[in-house]
Amino acid sequence: QVQLVESGGGLVQPGGSLTLSCAASGRIFRIYAMGWYRQAPGKQRDLVATITSGGITNYADSVKGRFTISRDNAQNTVSLQMNSLKPEDTAVYYCNADLLTMSPTIRYPYWGQGTQVTVSS
């Protein structure tokens, strides 16, 4: 009933940039916070950045000053602009949305399928 679809991953050289996008669709009544998480091989899934419906942002220390999260509430989309990428940024990036569905009315965190980001020369 609800889908989060990510796009924009790929291979980039160290120091390069990528922009990830995520679109939420389906029987959505309201979206609260949206965010990006990442998971490197053999590691747990970690928070990268989140943004509330009012535009308040939060970033992991490792990406502050390099990544920028933004959202379009009218389009139910969230984006992550990633600059000055490092090899340690290599991971699968997942979109997350804390949202309220319609009929039934349920608040639940939804996840996208993930998109690979590889930073390598």
Torsions phi, psi for 2 (to 5 deg):
-125, 135
What's the mean pLDDT in 4-32? 96
Helix (H, G, I), strand (E, B) or coil at 45: coil
pLDDT per residue as tens digits for the range 70-113: 999 999 999 999 999 999 999 999 999 999 998 888 899 999 99
Nearest one of 5, 2, 1 to 78, comparing CA atoms = 5
Residue 100 in tokens: 């309220």
The H or E element spanning position 68 is strand 67-72
Q: Who's near 23: CB < 8 A, 6+ residues apart?
A: 4, 5, 75, 76, 77
